[in-house]
């Protein structure tokens, strides 16, 4: 049986301790929480992007925050990139709704630039049995001015760490992303992390100008990572968000960074430097936790390729492949159908 690229990618990210097909959960970003809110474009947004959600009026959104980990057991405080998937509704919700998705995570770049390299990475970084490094070995590492292997979390018996480090050693393009992810830790709240949409999109402004850009959400209250010296906590993020939203709204700014000559727009493994021009495209205000976490979170199927006029995908092969990957994932867990579904 031949797999489509999307199916291959979908299969490649599964962990042996992840959900089974019967669980009907996502293979990664398995655990999450949904929330409702609104998005209001900034006054300059339409100059850069004429898509409906950037034209001005406030529109409703649904957001799903998640942990990246594809484990069946939930471990909020394990070092793990977090996800923030946003659906902007440009019409009434329903079967023929007009909507667009923006999927972001706390890691600003991908591990690899292409599908093949991603599959190779997933293969090499498959979780392997992970034990605490012996103390003597750590002393040896310190004397060699090397990073000792981080201690496993309580209950962590397999980890992709060794495979990922080996891959990073062999592939220059993945060094920075793997370095970053090894230190990413956990936020104190989903509302206190910055999320990056990673891929380059092409936005068309009111005057027809096309720009190659990347999006990022930045929290108004600021980024705050958790102190990892504290005792691990497996379940706190969802409670924390409910609690926070019950006391007040949560805000994010949508920053859009503009691409320049010399960038390879098809390569999402290369982060963009800090000196770029950043445009404030609008503000997201989350107000309440979603009532029906099943419909509005677990079965909601986001897709990074769900775009509307005014935003197009770049030639990034991983972005284009994610169209199918997310479809494969959705089908496997009976997620709500989306414009891309065939049936």
Partner 1 sequence: MSKTLDLNELQGNILRGYRADLTNVRYLFLEVVNLGEARRFLGAAIEGVTPGIPKITTAAHWADQKPQMCFNIGVTYEGLKALGTPASSLATFPVEFVEGMTRRALKLGDFGPSAANHWPAPFDRPDRLHLIATIYAVNQDILDDIQDQVSQAFSVLGVRDARARTDANVLGPQYAGDGSPNNRVFFGYADSISQPKFNHLTDAQPEKTSDSAPLGTVLLGHPTRMEGVMFRVPSPKALGLNGSFNAFRVLAQDTHGFELYLDQAAEELEQMLGERMDQLLPVDGEILIGFEKGQRREALREIVAAQMCGRWRNGTPVANSPSHPIFNIPNKDQAEAFNAFSYAAPSACPVGAHIRRTNPRDGEVVQRGSNLTRQMVRRGMPYGPDFDPKNPDNEERGLLGNFIGANLGAQFEAVMCDWLNLGLLHPDITGLNDPLIGANTPETSAFDLLLRDGTSYRLRGFPRFVKTRGGAYTFLPSLPAIEYLSQLKSR
Partner 2 sequence: MANGAGWFDRFVNSLPERGWFKSLSNIVVVPFWAAVDPRPKLPGGPRPSVQPSESLQRMMNLIMPLKNKSPVGRAMAAMVISQNIDEIFTGLDNVGTIHFARFIIIDDNLCMLSVYDGDFSNYIRDFIVAIGNVFDGILSQVEGGDDVIPTRDNVDKFIDWVHDRDLFQLPDFATDIFALQDAAMGRPANSAAHKLDELPRAMILQLKANPNFSLGGGYRGYAGLSVAQIRQKFGLGW
Q: Which residues bind partner 2 (CB under 8 A)?
A: 131-132, 135, 138-139, 141-147, 151-152, 154-157, 165, 168-172, 175-176, 178-179, 182, 258, 260-263, 271, 273-278
Question: Toward partner 1, which CB reaches closer, 191 or 197?
Answer: 197
Q: How far is the CB of 166 from partner 2 (least distance, A)?
A: 8
Question: Toward partner 2, which CB reaches closer, 33 or 164?
Answer: 164
Query: Residues touching partner 1: how many (CB under 8 A)?
Result: 8
Question: Toward partner 2, which CB reaches closer, 225 or 232?
Answer: 232
Question: Which residues sit opposite 211 in a β-bridge?
Answer: 203
End-to-end Cα distance, the chain: 20
Q: Which CA distances in Å does 313 have to 203, 212, 213, 318, 325?
A: 9, 9, 10, 11, 16
139 binds, among partner 2, partner 1, none (CB under 5 to 8 A by kind): partner 2
Question: Toward partner 1, which CB reaches closer, 94 or 262?
Answer: 262
Q: How far is the CB of 312 from partner 1 (least distance, A)?
A: 12
Q: Is 273 an interacting residue with respect to partner 1 (CB under 8 A)?
A: no
Q: How far is the CB of 183 from partner 2 (least distance, A)?
A: 10
Q: Is 262 an interacting residue with respect to partner 1 (CB under 8 A)?
A: yes
Phi/psi at 258 (nearest 5 deg)?
-95, 130
- Do the beta carbons of residue 110 and residue 268 sit within 8 Å? yes
3-state percent helix, strand, coil for the chain, nearest multiple of 5: 25, 25, 50
Q: How far is the CB of 262 from partner 1 (least distance, A)?
A: 6
Phi/psi at 5 (nearest 5 deg)?
-55, -45
User: 3-state DSSP call for residue 225?
Assistant: strand
Listed ranges 13-21, 134-142, 181-189, 254-262: which one lies at the site for partner 1 (CB under 8 A): 254-262
Listed ranges 130-138, 204-212, 215-223, 292-300: which one lies at the site for partner 1 (CB under 8 A): 204-212
Question: Toward partner 2, which CB reaches closer, 53 or 214?
Answer: 214
Q: Which of 212, 225, 280, 312 binds partner 1 (CB under 8 A)?
A: 212
Q: Which of 265, 299, 323, 333 binds partner 1 (CB under 8 A)?
A: 265
User: 3-state DSSP call for residue 121?
Assistant: helix
Q: Is 116 an interacting residue with respect to partner 1 (CB under 8 A)?
A: no
Which of the residues 29 through 58 are near partner 1 (CB under 8 A)? none
Alpha helices (runs of H) in the chain, residue ranges in sequence order: 5-12, 45-48, 115-124, 135-143, 161-170, 172-182, 237-247, 317-332
Give one DSSP letter per residue of 145-201, joined into a string.
Answer: T-PPPPPPPTT--EESHHHHHHHHHH-HHHHHHHHHHHT---BS-GGGS-EE--S-E
Q: Is 173 an interacting residue with respect to partner 1 (CB under 8 A)?
A: no
Q: Is 310 an interacting residue with respect to partner 1 (CB under 8 A)?
A: no
Q: Which CA distances in Å does 133 have to 69, 138, 156, 230?
A: 22, 7, 13, 20
Distance between CA atoms of 102 and 254, rounded to whole angstroms?
Answer: 11
Residue numbers at the binding site for partner 1 (CB under 8 A): 209-210, 212, 259-262, 265
């Amino acid at each position: 049986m031949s797999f489509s690229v999307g199916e291959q990618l979908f299969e490649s990210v599964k962990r042996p301790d992840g959900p089974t097909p019967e669980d009907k959960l996502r293979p990664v970003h398995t655990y999450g929480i949904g929330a409702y809110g609104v998005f209001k474009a900034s006054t300059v947004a339409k100059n850069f992007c004429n898509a409906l959600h950037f034209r001005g009026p406030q529109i409703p959104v649904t957001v799903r925050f998640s942990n990246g980990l594809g484990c069946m057991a939930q471990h909020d405080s394990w070092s793990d990139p977090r996800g923030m998937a946003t659906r902007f509704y440009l019409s009434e919700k329903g079967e023929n709704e007009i909507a667009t998705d923006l999927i972001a995570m706390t890691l600003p770049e991908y591990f690899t630039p292409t599908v093949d390299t991603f599959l190779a990475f997933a293969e090499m970084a498959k979780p392997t049995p992970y034990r605490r490094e012996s103390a003597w070995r750590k002393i040896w590492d310190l004397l060699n001015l090397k990073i000792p292997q981080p201690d496993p979390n309580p209950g962590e018996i397999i980890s992709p760490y060794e495979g990922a480090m080996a891959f990073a050693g062999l592939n220059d393009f993945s060094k920075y992303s793997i370095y970053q992810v090894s230190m990413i830790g956990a936020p104190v709240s989903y509302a206190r992390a910055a999320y990056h949409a990673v891929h380059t999109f092409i936005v068309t402004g009111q005057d027809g100008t096309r720009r190659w850009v990347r999006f990022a959400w930045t929290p108004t209250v600021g980024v705050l990572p958790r102190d990892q010296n504290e005792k691990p906590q497996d379940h706190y993020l969802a409670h924390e968000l409910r609690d926070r939203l019950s006391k007040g709204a949560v805000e994010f700014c949508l920053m859009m960074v503009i691409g320049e000559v010399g960038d390879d727009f098809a390569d999402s493994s290369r982060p963009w430097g800090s000196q770029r021009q950043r445009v404030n495209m609008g503000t997201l205000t989350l107000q309440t936790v979603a009532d029906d976490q099943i419909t509005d979170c677990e079965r909601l199927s986001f897709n990074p390729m769900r775009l509307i006029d005014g935003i197009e995908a770049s030639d990034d092969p991983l972005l284009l492949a994610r169209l199918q990957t997310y479809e494969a994932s959705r089908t496997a867990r009976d997620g709500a159908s989306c414009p891309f579904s065939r049936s």
